[in-house]
């Protein structure tokens, strides 16, 4: 055949075509058989578990991973799946050995280019051959594993045999004539890039059908498919939709998964559940033509894409939906919330959902009561006990800040935020107990020395810099013993020696990227400030409100940029309170 072909075949249907045993050929570019007893046992255990399921349905089947083939010279070249295909043959041979001769099944033929005597070995697996060739050794081990496994389950053999033959299916993916088999093998095996649901579904939607109308349909879907996939490859759009920003390969799978789950597919049943769903959907016997079923299925996916694109383009929905997806809310749940609502109504519903997830239920409507409720929520938070809620509130503070100004067209960088994994850090840290090792002490002093070198010099700063240099030159044991005194002098210089417990309230917390968090965790305020401003200066993403904190934009009076004082914390808390109050009130939505 000249066209790519995809369908499901039972194990029984792998045996014969037109009444003759099918020949499968494994070319020399592939390695030999390597499945271990563990992998063979896992397959058999899965089959057994499937036969034992409660309330089995007539149309249920156990699905194996794809078998990628190329029709060639009256046989099928196995591009991917030869390990499974060999194991299936060994199980079929075991059933034949258990049966009387007249009940034995004709089996498919498996030929290895590098092992022309494989058939002879299967008939007579001599130990001396298994000892000489590694793939024969593994085949012999698999045969032994299969035999021992069935000996322990004599009462279940017939049920398992029926399930194996008639209710175990493989995804038969046949490449078009002329497609390079070696290139396909390299992609699927050497690069360990699995055949995705999206690729399988694409083949399903674009498989050949007679007539000019069918050909036009294929061209239309192929063109639109590529446009959608290209849009999903845009890092900003993908980071808006999904928290796995590093996901490579085809991303249109995500839309098909949403459509399949909406239509009743149970997620997680197997790796190719989404493909199986659409394969069954397109094969349904109802009043619709196959062409109409196909176009309707594609239209379902396009509708999802168009809705998500619309949300992405609307600046307010972009931030609202972006927060909810970051907070692990299912996209299908968001779509259900959107059903039948105008945009203004939907924004209010999303806003209310964000408030509930970030701050809790029960927000009052009356402004003064709302302000008191918010103050109680914020003041009751403490790090690290409330780490999850604090992170959500700090992100919401950034989004609400961008949304409350109607003239602004700035968008939050979900891509950078999710990729760098910004976490919570104290604006001002006093935690000498966490600097117990020589390395941590050296890192802390190095960061502080660098700041003193770059900052405006005075006599005290110069003297401290000299002490740091001398300390760093000490042997490790002497340095640890002398660290506390130097540490205290430096805290006094930066006015961070007021004692007491570190401030773990939200008014002393901000979002910092993990690299900065790890490297500068216990640094004094001006060192952290310098690091944040360096990132911003070089165009590296810094959350808007984190930058504002270290610039002291929320402070009522900026006496000195080197210190983070109680008035600074009070100003930051006030801004948090008022910005969140404005967000919850919702007046900005229709501005």
Average confidence (pLDDT) over 252-259: 95
- Residues near 163 by Cβ (< 8 Å), separated by ≥ 6? 47, 50, 51, 62
- Residues near 542 by Cβ (< 8 Å), separated by ≥ 6? 532, 535, 536
Query: Is the pLDDT higher at 238 or at 461?
Result: 238
Query: Is the pLDDT higher at 286 or at 152?
Result: 152
Phi, psi of 63 (to 5 degrees): -110, 125
CB 181 within 8 A of CB 175: yes
Which pLDDT band, with edges at 50, 70 and 90, does 497 fall under?
Answer: low
Q: How far apart are CA 495 and CA 473, in angstroms?
A: 26
Which pLDDT band, with edges at 50, 70 and 90, does 455 fall under?
Answer: low
Average confidence (pLDDT) over 515-521: 72
Q: How far apart are CA 60 and CA 274, in angstroms?
A: 15
The pLDDT value recorded for residue 574 is 97
CB 58 within 8 A of CB 166: no
CA neighbor of 2 nearest in space, from 127, 129, 174, 118:
174
- Residues near 421 by Cβ (< 8 Å), separated by ≥ 6? 513, 514
The pLDDT value recorded for residue 438 is 77
Q: Six-digit token pair at 30?
A: 């592939």
For residues 83, 89, 91 and 94, what is the CA-based torsion angle, rounded to 10 degrees?
-140
DSSP 240-303: HH-S-TT--S--THHHHHHHHHHTTPPTTSSTTHHHHHHHHHHT--SSS-HHHHHHHHHHHHHH
Q: How far apart are CA 451 and CA 461, in angstroms?
A: 10
% the chain with pLDDT above 70:
91
The pLDDT value recorded for residue 184 is 65
Query: Is the pLDDT higher at 458 or at 188?
Result: 458
Average confidence (pLDDT) over 323-335: 97
Question: Mind listing the pLDDT tens digit for each residue in 99-144?
Answer: 988 889 999 999 988 888 887 888 888 888 888 888 889 999 999 9
Which pLDDT band, with edges at 50, 70 and 90, does 503 fall under?
Answer: confident
CA neighbor of 432 nearest in space, from 504, 479, 491, 472:
491
Task: Find which of 96-110, 470-484, 501-515 is predicted with most confidence, using mean pLDDT.
Answer: 96-110
Question: Mind listing the pLDDT tens digit for each residue in 389-437?
Answer: 999 999 999 999 999 887 888 999 999 999 988 889 888 875 555 666 7
Longest dimension (CA), the chain: 102
Q: How far apart are CA 318 and CA 443, in angstroms?
A: 40
CB 108 within 8 A of CB 89: yes
% the chain with pLDDT above 90:
48
Place of tokens 């210089």: 493
The pLDDT value recorded for residue 191 is 46
- Residues near 57 by Cβ (< 8 Å), separated by ≥ 6? none
CA neighbor of 107 nearest in space, from 11, 173, 40:
11
Burial (CB count within 10 angstroms: exposed 0-12, middle 13-18, buried 19+), residue 386: middle
Q: How far apart are CA 100 and CA 372, in angstroms?
A: 83
Average confidence (pLDDT) over 264-274: 80
Q: Six-digit token pair at 178?
A: 């002329």
- Is the pTM higher than 0.85? The answer reads no
284, pLDDT greater than 80: no
Pairing of strands 20-21, 422-426: unpaired
- Residues near 362 by Cβ (< 8 Å), separated by ≥ 6? 373
94, pLDDT greater than 70: yes
**Average pLDDT, rounded, for the chain:** 86
Query: Is the pLDDT higher at 380 or at 501?
Result: 380
Phi, psi of 413 (to 5 degrees): -90, 85
Which pLDDT band, with edges at 50, 70 and 90, does 305 fall under?
Answer: very high
The pLDDT value recorded for residue 1 is 45
Least confident piece of the model among 123-127, 354-358, 437-441, 470-474: 437-441
Average confidence (pLDDT) over 426-453: 71
Question: Mind listing the pLDDT tens digit for each residue in 36-93?
Answer: 999 999 999 999 998 988 888 777 888 888 898 999 888 999 998 899 999 999 999 9
Least confident piece of the model among 158-162, 433-437, 492-496, 574-578: 433-437
Alpha-carbon torsion (435, 437, 443, 447), positive or negative: positive
The pLDDT value recorded for residue 311 is 97
């Amino acid at each position: 055949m000249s066209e790519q072909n995809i369908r499901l075949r039972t194990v029984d249907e792998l045996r014969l075509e037109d009444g003759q045993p099918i020949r499968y050929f494994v070319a020399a570019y592939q390695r030999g058989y390597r499945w271990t007893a563990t992998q063979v046992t896992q397959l058999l255990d899965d089959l057994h578990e499937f036969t034992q399921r409660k309330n089995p349905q007539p149309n249920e089947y156990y699905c194996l991973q794809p078998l990628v083939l190329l029709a060639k010279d009256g046989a099928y070249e196995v591009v991917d799946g030869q390990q499974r295909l060999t194991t299936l043959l060994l199980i079929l041979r075991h059933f034949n050995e258990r049966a009387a001769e007249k009940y034995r099944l004709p089996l498919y033929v498996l030929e290895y280019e590098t092992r022309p005597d494989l058939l002879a070995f299967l008939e007579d697996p001599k130990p001396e051959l298994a000892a000489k060739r590694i793939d024969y050794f593994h085949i012999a081990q698999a045969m032994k594993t299969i035999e021992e496994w069935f000996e322990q389950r004599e009462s279940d053999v017939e049920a398992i045999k029926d399930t194996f033959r008639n209710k175990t299916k493989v995804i038969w993916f046949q490449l078009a004539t002329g497609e390079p088999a070696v290139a396909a093998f390299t992609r699927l095996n050497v690069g360990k890039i699995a055949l995705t649901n999206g690729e399988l579904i694409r083949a399903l939607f674009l498989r050949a059908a007679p007539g000019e109308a069918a050909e036009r349909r294929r061209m239309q879907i192929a063109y639109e498919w590529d446009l959608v996939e290209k849009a999903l490859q845009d890092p900003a759009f993908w980071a808006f939709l999904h928290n796995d920003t590093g996901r490579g390969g085809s991303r249109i799978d995500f839309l098909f998964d949403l459509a399949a789950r909406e239509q009743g597919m149970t997620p997680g049943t197997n790796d190719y559940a989404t493909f199986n769903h659409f394969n069954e959907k397109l094969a349904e016997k109802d009043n619709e033509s196959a062409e109409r079923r196909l176009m309707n299925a594609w239209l379902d996916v396009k509708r999802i894409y168009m809705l998500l694109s619309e949300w992405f383009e609307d600046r307010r929905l972009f931030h609202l939906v972006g927060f909810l997806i970051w907070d692990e809310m299912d996209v299908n749940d968001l779509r259900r919330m959107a059903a039948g609502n105008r945009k203004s109504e939907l924004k209010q519903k999303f806003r209310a959902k964000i408030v509930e997830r970030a701050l809790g239920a029960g927000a009052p409507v009356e402004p003064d009561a709302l302000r008191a409720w918010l103050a109680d929520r914020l003041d009751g938070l403490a790090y690290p006990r409330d780490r999850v809620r604090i992170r959500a509130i700090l992100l919401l503070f950034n989004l609400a800040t961008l949304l409350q100004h109607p003239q602004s067209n700035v968008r939050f960088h979900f891509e950078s935020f999710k990729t760098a994994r910004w976490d919570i850090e104290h604006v001002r840290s006093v935690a000498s107990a966490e600097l117990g090792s020589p390395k941590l002490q050296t890192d802390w002093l190095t960061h502080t020395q660098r700041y003193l070198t770059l900052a405006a010099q005075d006599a005290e700063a110069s003297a401290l810099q000299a002490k740091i240099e001398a300390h760093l030159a000490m042997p490790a044991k002497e340095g640890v013993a002398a660290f506390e005194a130097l540490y205290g002098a430096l805290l006094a210089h930066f006015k961070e020696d007021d004692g007491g417990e570190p401030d773990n309230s939200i008014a002393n917390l901000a979002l910092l990227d993990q690299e900065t968090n790890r490297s500068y965790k216990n640094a004094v305020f001006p060192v952290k400030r310098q690091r944040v401003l360096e990132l911003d200066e070089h165009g590296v993403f810094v959350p808007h409100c984190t930058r504002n904190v270290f610039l002291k934009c929320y402070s009522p009076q900026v006496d000195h940029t080197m210190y983070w004082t109680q008035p600074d914390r009070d100003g930051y808390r006030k801004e948090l309170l008022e910005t969140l109050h404005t967000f919850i009130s919702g007046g900005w939505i229709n501005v």
